[in-house]
Amino acid sequence: MPYPQTQRIDVVEEQFGVQITDPYRWLESDAGRAPEVAAWMKAQDEAARAHLAELPGRDRFRALLSDLFDHERLTAPTKRGDRYFFTRNGGLDNQAVLVVRDGVTGPDRVLIDPNGWSEDGATALAEWSPSEDGLRLAFAVQDGGTDWRTIRILDIRTGKVLADRIAWARFTSIAWAKDGSGFFYSRYPAPGDDGMPQAQLAGHAVFFHALGTSQDADRLVYATPDLPHLIHIAGVTDDGRYAVIYSSPGSGGSAPTVVDLTRADWPSRTLVADFDNYWSIVGNIESKLFLTTQWGAKRGRIVTLDLGDAEPHFIDLIPEQAAVLNDAALLGGRLILAYLADAKTQVLGYRTDGTPDGIVELPGIGSAGGFSGRAADSEAFFVFTSFNAPTTIYRYDAAANSSSVWAAPKVTIDLDAIAVEQRFYASKDGTEVPMFIVRRKDIGDPAPTLLSAYGGYGISMIPVYSPAQLAWVEQGGVLAIANIRGGGEYGKAWHDAGRLRNKQNSFDDFIAAGAYLKAEGIAPEDGLAVQGESNGGLLVGAVVNQRPDLFAAALPGVGVMDMLRFDRFTGGRLWVSEFGDPADAADFQTLLGYSPYHTIRSGTPYPAVLATTADTDDRVVPAHSFKYVAALQAADLGDRPRLLRIEPRAGHGGGKPIKRAIEEIADMWAFAAHWTGLKT
């Protein structure tokens, strides 16, 4: 098909003795300041949408997705005093509303409804946190999908928003002081007037905002000017005794620092100085901290540290298990630990002296976590979900070790008709990799298959209920989720085996998954599509270049596609600890070997490619997808299309209005269905 014309410019740079051409670097310019980029974006998006509008399955998928999303979705409540705070989406609301309930079974009252904040529905409620007494609530506003936040404060009794306004918050939590006098949050310095939206971020710091004061008076709590590219996230222990700050380079590990809030000078004490392992403070009993760590235990363990000791040191409490420690909470005087065993959850209870104290029964095989409650309160909440089990909120009684349904959605799809199985396949080097396969019970082999994975940052692809994915399954397609290396399914070792100079293992695992699906007769020979977003978008771009013959269609979303320049934009410097540093000679060779923008194989037939991004994504800037698609369109790759769909006023995915999300998914699934032969 004919594509909009894309200008090529003469940019050639030598890096470590290698000549690197970058003819589409001009597409890195911000469209708001570069009319030529804005015109190119418009032409590309119009061409893509014109093609997508002609696909026969698009209307069917749009209607089906609307039906599958149309059920009430709640988050687990946060209890403060006698009030319970949670978000609720009635089904097709563009944005979820924030609700408060007086008493666990009392009437609901809407506190914040962001659906009226903008005409296009793209302004969303992001992070939020109620004060300890339940009288005030700090909440963050996200506009157009950006990672930037503006924090405001609501008086819960009157419903009025206070004058306090916090700007330039990003990668932040909101953690109230015990007395409700203010809260901790994280921000970057305000950019200058000539600051570019894509400019590299540096100088993240934790501040304390006292109610009723100007942001200029906020107290700097923690920063690392000598390490300006770290991010710092703050929390406060249940008893209000300590602020806890986690510092991280973005991947690989975190270093916890504790701030003693009982002293007026708020002295800080860094517990771990390096970033080699992830640490998390589960809770405390007076000066004794309970922590999860991968230090000396790549699948996780529980240790304690008593800050009241003359020479505090870590003491083993609950040793590493065969399964991976995935979540932990101190509730009702018990430790509740959620483990991943082959990417499925099991929950165990322990006394605070480390002795086993039973199991927490789950309703089936799936994913459970997000335990929400207080260390001194026996009441808590958690979430359970699976591929064929809608996300359900359970109320947990820690004293009785019993659970009951607190909120369960009613869905229209017949979940008894959906089959879920887990298989294991061998990767290129013989490593056994698990993969979930989801399909209707009446679907025989082979059938058009959608293969997805992530494979980065230690993030596990666990069983979750997804109306988007079920739309593909309901129409007779097969969904395959591969738990490739780079994720956290088997702990730190599994993550490390797919990051930095081991990144090719992730791609080998994904390619092996596709080959397995065909060899086993699950996917037809020309009926396999691949899909992934962000790091998963990089994954899709890389494997398509390495094995274009394996796939009929590819759906890379908001992907990191230029691995030689990713660190130059917004928060990209945070990814060096995951991918490597383009300025390091050895890392450069690894990155160049798989960078999707640089490894396109002209003269080779390629699958159909629909790349998706957003015009204002300020995490993975859209220039990654722009340059990648421009290079695809310029290469000799056969007759199948290479298209670029650009969502307006959207970011990396968070805060996207549900109606626009449905439109985008319908386009993606219709495109994949057309090229894999799925009949809708």
The CA distance from 127 to 149, in Å, is 9
Which is nearest to 248 in space by CA: 234, 264, 266?
234
Residue with tokens 């796939």: 551
Q: 154 with 137: CB under 8 angstroms?
A: yes
Q: Is residue 662 in some structural domain?
A: yes
CA angle 245, 144, 222 (to 5 degrees): 15
The CA distance from 609 to 552, in Å, is 9
Q: What pLDDT, in 10s, does the model give residues 297-307?
A: 999 999 999 99
**Coil, helix or strand for 39?**
helix
Is residue 641 pLDDT above 90, yes or no? Answer: yes
Confirm whether 204 is a catalytic residue: no
* E strand spans, 121-163: 123-130, 136-143, 148-155
Neighbouring C-alpha atoms within 13 Å toward the C-beta of 543: 35
The pLDDT value recorded for residue 197 is 58
Q: Is residue 170 in some structural domain?
A: yes
To the question of pTM greater than 0.85 for the whole model, the response is yes
Whether residue 431 is found in the same domain as residue 468: yes
Whether residue 440 is found in the same domain as residue 583: yes
Catalytic residue among 534, 577, 595, 625: 534
The CA distance from 218 to 210, in Å, is 7
The pLDDT value recorded for residue 104 is 82
Whether residue 43 is found in the same domain as residue 122: no
Q: 376 with 238: CB under 8 angstroms?
A: yes
Q: Is residue 299 in some structural domain?
A: no
Confirm whether 460 is a catalytic residue: no
**Coil, helix or strand for 234?**
strand
The CA distance from 593 to 601, in Å, is 12
Q: Is residue 1 in some structural domain?
A: no
Is residue 48 pLDDT above 90, yes or no? Answer: yes
Whether residue 39 is found in the same domain as residue 184: no
Final residue belonging to a domain, choices 203, 220, 237: 220
DSSP H helical ranges for 323-405: none
Q: Is residue 391 in some structural domain?
A: yes
Q: What pLDDT, in 10s, does the model give residues 391-447?
A: 999 999 999 999 999 999 999 999 999 999 999 999 999 999 999 999 999 998 899
Q: Is residue 235 in some structural domain?
A: no
Whether residue 45 is found in the same domain as residue 81: no
| CA–CA distances in Å: residue 191 to residues 169, 195, 238 | 12, 5, 35
647-669: b (≥16 Cβ within 10 Å) or e? bebbbbbebbbbebbbbbbbbbb
Q: Is residue 398 in some structural domain?
A: yes
Range of the domain at 137: 74-220
Q: What pLDDT, in 10s, does the model give residues 354-396?
A: 999 999 999 999 999 999 999 989 999 999 999 999 999 999 9
The CA distance from 174 to 235, in Å, is 7
End-to-end CA distance of the chain: 24
Whether residue 495 is found in the same domain as residue 537: yes
Whether residue 576 is found in the same domain as residue 430: yes
Whether residue 394 is found in the same domain as residue 419: no
Q: Is residue 300 in some structural domain?
A: no
Q: Residues 215-223: what's their mean pLDDT? A: 98
Final residue belonging to a domain, choices 220, 244, 273: 220
Q: What pLDDT, in 10s, does the model give residues 572-617?
A: 999 999 999 999 999 999 999 999 999 999 999 999 999 999 999 9
Whether residue 59 is found in the same domain as residue 164: no
Whether residue 525 is found in the same domain as residue 406: no
Whether residue 90 is found in the same domain as residue 204: yes
Catalytic residue among 71, 209, 232, 652: 652
Percent of the chain surpassing pLDDT 70: 99
Final residue belonging to a domain, choices 383, 410, 437: 410
The CA distance from 640 to 645, in Å, is 16
Three-state SS for 502-536 is HCHHHHHHHHHHHHHHHHCCCCCCCCEEEEEECHH
Number of domains in the chain: 3
Mean pLDDT of the chain: 96
Q: What pLDDT, in 10s, does the model give residues 250-284?
A: 998 999 999 999 999 999 999 999 999 999 999 99
Whether residue 48 is found in the same domain as residue 136: no
142: domain CATH number is 2.130.10.120
